[in-house]
Structure 1
């Protein structure tokens, strides 16, 4: 099979984008196709176009939305690495940044001057996003100077806003009703203090101090904590109603991580970050590896949790309750802004990102229908 596709960099992720007219609409057939496209059965994805890391083994199917007031629908796929599976239960804000630029570049959304607005719906979660793409001079740009923590390479500026992000997956900002609560897991002794929040994505955030950590650890140390952080995710999935007791919770949601007070550290790009340069330390998992920066949906959740008195973020933050939060990630500081706050969380959460179209390609892949036969 010959499948047209476009590779984009959105923020700190890379994502292959497919037009919905070129791929199967049936989810099971689409999953078989993506497994073949990415070479997902191989842990290094050698016989496919995957990047063999959670941030580079992503895909999205893009089409014109039939919903009033929206321009684009996109279905996000987290493609397995070493497994013939695809995770469909989450969203990716970084890929959404690339989807917005792609939609303008491919003429799915008309340019409207120096800035072009793209209204999008994530099919997986129902999340509504608004992107503002830099189209200075009334044209689509192939390169740009906007940078984000995690890469020194520039891209086209895209402002990404999550609209009314609370409760999209579970129906409530606080699925258990508690701002913070104790948690014990089989993988380690002692009691952890966690906040379980659904905003942007379902997350379970562990108070780093309760775990004997700081929240500003280097990635190598976070990597050593993956086994018990997976236990936290599994326990939280059951408490948040994302999985049934005894059911495999999967590796995508809730997103799990550590939060702690700001401390001086050195970013993965070698930059010294002083404690006064940011408000909260965060170290998140991406599937089952430490995220090199932070997923945008996780950033939305952290910023929203900063507004909740009694939460682990509120307790550790240097700016508790403030609408603008500077998040210290392994790659550097990401600023997130909440506006129009209400009892169920902010109505708008915005992050400034960058995107770039890397290539248009025709991917050659074995026909999964023949493989099944």
Structure 2
């Protein structure tokens, strides 16, 4: 049987990379879509040898774009986290790093027209409902990828892309504190269950028997740590209204420690079954909010008092990520108004990706 092809753009976005496709070019049914994405990525093998995945959770991500019917947004962004060694696809979360490439990809695909030297692309994240304004460099009517902006965890420099996230509270749960409290004890350890851009379970590194300054490689080798976190994550998922999260990458897990290299705080972010080499864009917003909100496990970790908008430098295994959180207290409760970040992206390849005909055959 002949293979089935579909156009794609391959983009390094933030500190992740993956294929960007038009949603209309893919199967509508999610079961059929999952089979196609598993084949495209090559999930089910540690090296993704029969696909274009990169053998890690940050390189097995897929973005699917379409024109939006939302009154505010220009583009709908539908995200899929595909497994590495397991043939799984999770449509529950979004991904802020891959979102960085949505603006450039939408322009390259002709979904929107560039306007002036800087084009605003207004994005609706279909998975969570978040709204994001993205400023893309478009001198002469084309996306510019070269520039002088740099982000830790990515070599070289590129054109800056400014992101502003709105409606980030309760991305897929009932609210910013979906369990109704700012901190609670699960398996004898204090944690905060929080949902700002990404549902997360957040603890203090010291309470888990680590410093919080370990490398990602060191943490990945610490099997007792992951067993402890996973047991808490499964119980927290139920408390957060997410049900059985055994096979879901949400909620994610994060651990906090005081800053060591001149930043605001040190974090380690888990995806959740291994440590992120840097930090997720969505996770950065939740972790920063936890550090700012009174009553959470993050209270007291920041060395300096912060006022809105708060500009935090979060230390991660490969450097720092700056996050700007605009927040307010309403009726004694902490609320996030918006979050801003600066990232970069670069188009790596474009063309057609092929799927075996017995997996997908267009009518």
Q: Is the 8 A contact 2:5 2:352 kept in 1?
A: yes
Deviation at 1:94, TM superposition (A): 0.5
Task: Classify the secondary structure of the residue corresponding to 2:158.
Answer: strand
Distance 1:25 1:19, change over 3 A: same
Instruction: Report whether the alignment pairs 1:220 with 2:230.
Output: no
Moved more, 302-311 or 328-337: 302-311
Q: Is the 8 A contact 2:170 2:195 kept in 1?
A: yes
Return the match for 1:34 from 21, 27, 37: 37
Deviation at 1:291, TM superposition (A): 0.1
Return the match for 1:131 from 130, 134, 143: 134
Corresponding residue for residue 16 of structure 1: 19
Corresponding residue for residue 238 of structure 1: 238
Q: Is the 8 A contact 2:36 2:360 kept in 1?
A: no
Q: Pairwise mapping of residues 123-202 of structure 1 onto structure 2 (< 5 A)?
A: 123-184=126-187, 191-202=188-199
Instruction: Report whether the alignment pairs 1:258 with 2:249.
Output: no
Instruction: Report whether the alignment pairs 1:109 with 2:94.
Output: no
Equivalenced residue count is: 350
TM-score w.r.t. the length of structure 1 is 0.89
What CA RMSD, in Å, does the superposition of the two structures yield over aligned residues?
Answer: 1.7
Moved more, 115-124 or 304-313: 304-313
Distance 1:44 1:192, change over 3 A: same
Task: Classify the secondary structure of the residue corresponding to 2:31.
Answer: helix
Corresponding residue for residue 277 of structure 2: 292
In 1, Cα distance between equivalents of 2:358 and 2:83: 16
In 1, Cα distance between equivalents of 2:257 and 2:358: 46
Q: Is the 8 A contact 1:6 1:16 kept in 2?
A: yes
Return the match for 1:353 from 339, 343, 347: 343
Mind listing any 5+ residue stretches in structure 2 that lack a counterpart?
none
Instruction: Report whether the alignment pairs 1:325 with 2:312.
Output: yes
Q: Is the 8 A contact 1:42 1:81 kept in 2?
A: yes
Task: Classify the secondary structure of the residue corresponding to 2:217.
Answer: helix
Mind listing any 5+ residue stretches in structure 1 that lack a counterpart?
185-190, 264-273
Distance 1:370 1:152, change over 3 A: closer
Q: Is the 8 A contact 1:113 1:136 kept in 2?
A: yes
In 2, Cα distance between equivalents of 1:116 and 1:305: 32
In 2, Cα distance between equivalents of 1:136 and 1:291: 34
Distance 1:179 1:63, change over 3 A: same
Q: Is the 8 A contact 1:97 1:353 kept in 2?
A: yes
In 1, Cα distance between equivalents of 2:304 and 2:183: 18
Corresponding residue for residue 365 of structure 1: 355
Deviation at 1:15, TM superposition (A): 1.6
Distance 1:220 1:110, change over 3 A: same
Deviation at 1:216, TM superposition (A): 1.8
In 2, Cα distance between equivalents of 1:227 and 1:361: 42
Instruction: Report whether the alignment pairs 1:308 with 2:293.
Output: yes
Corresponding residue for residue 268 of structure 1: none
Task: Classify the secondary structure of the residue corresponding to 1:55.
Answer: helix
Moved more, 154-163 or 336-345: 336-345
